[in-house]
Amino acid sequence: MRWCSSSAFHLLRCVRLRLCSRRGRNRLPLWIREIWAYMRLLAKSLYVNSLTDSDVVFDSVFEPVFLTVDYITRWFGLVFVCLVVILTSSIVVIAYVVLLPLILNTYSPPWIAWHVCYGHWNLIMIAFHYYKAANTSPGYPPTEKHDGPVVSVCKKCIIPKPARTHHCGICNRCILKMDHHCPWLNNCVGHFNHRYFFSFCLFMTLGCVYCSISGRNLFLDAYNALELLIFFFVFCFGKTHYQTPAPPYTFKDKMIHKSIIYMWVLTSTVGVALGALTIWHAVLISRGETSIERHINSKETKRMAKWGKVYRNPFNYGRLNNWKIFLGVEKRSHWVTRVLLPSAHPPHGDGLTWAVYPVKKDLIPV
């Protein structure tokens, strides 16, 4: 029995050695085996990691789509900036060439002074804040080691991230207190240019509403004149013999009417759309959060509610104090010199460290 068992074991060992030798001869090239091992590692990383969830899988699958959108947005940034400049300039030209002569000829001196002063003030505020929002750096965390507090490490930059810092795929770097990437500015909206962005939206909305209200009667007159002209041409081409004289409109009158209609339609449309965006950002500022933090805080509120707890935004210092911090108001006079007049003062804080609630007194007492 001992001899039989040892003989069988020896036979099995020989068969195994021969199979292994044959398998070694038919082995695939090294570069194919390395690619196959890398693909297996990628596949395992989707379900082996304990931190993997549906968001991670979704981001991994749609990463090429995100990269394409980021590339297109980055490339079209200059196009959007040129579009803003061209459209705004066209409204300014119409206001100077068409509306201002009408105002000077028909309005009383007090109304002329009001329109001239308000119109130029609004135009200066729009141009100043747009230029500053587009050319001011939103703020970036230091790439070297520092003693400031951090909350995590960026997966793409591989650098420590301070609180309220997020990575922008279009700018391809982390942004301090990032709100969003604005293609109309070709720049990120972050800690150092958030006030410029909001002020531009606010004064652009006020300017569009001002043009829409002031030009309403002119728009109705121009629309009725063009409608009468179109009716005349339809009537003429519909009959062989006619005796109706043509409306006494010259080429200049027609261009003026079309310009007024173009200005009113554009300003009314932009005023409604941009006004809704401005109101939304005003609500976020009152709550002490950005657009990204709004999404994060909403998810955190639902997560804490499952545990029977209430989530509080750690960067909400109260409505009035949130506005004072955002606008950089440190004295009563700053409501005029820093809010109602062009001001290039820096925001409160460095964007790296933030005080958290509860705040017993105002961070900026006014």
Task: Give the residue numbers marked as catalytic.
Answer: 182
Name the amino acid, one letter, at 2.
R
- Is residue 229 within 8 A of residue 256, CB to CB? The reply is no
What is the distance in angstroms between the CA of the first residue and the CA of the last residue of the chain?
Answer: 101
| Residue 106: count of CB within 10 angstroms of its CB | 9
Give CA–CA dist 258/232, Å, rounded. 17
- Is residue 173 within 8 A of residue 160, CB to CB? The reply is no
Lookup: tokens for 117: 């002063």
Beta bridge partners of 160: 153
Angle, vertex CA 339, rays to CA 103 and CA 313, nearest 5: 130
Give CA–CA dist 87/207, Å, rounded. 13
Give CA–CA dist 26/240, Å, rounded. 93
**Which of 327, 266, 270, 271 has its CA nearest to residue 129?**
327
What are the DSSP calls for 211-227, one per residue?
Answer: HHHHTHHHHHHHHHHHH
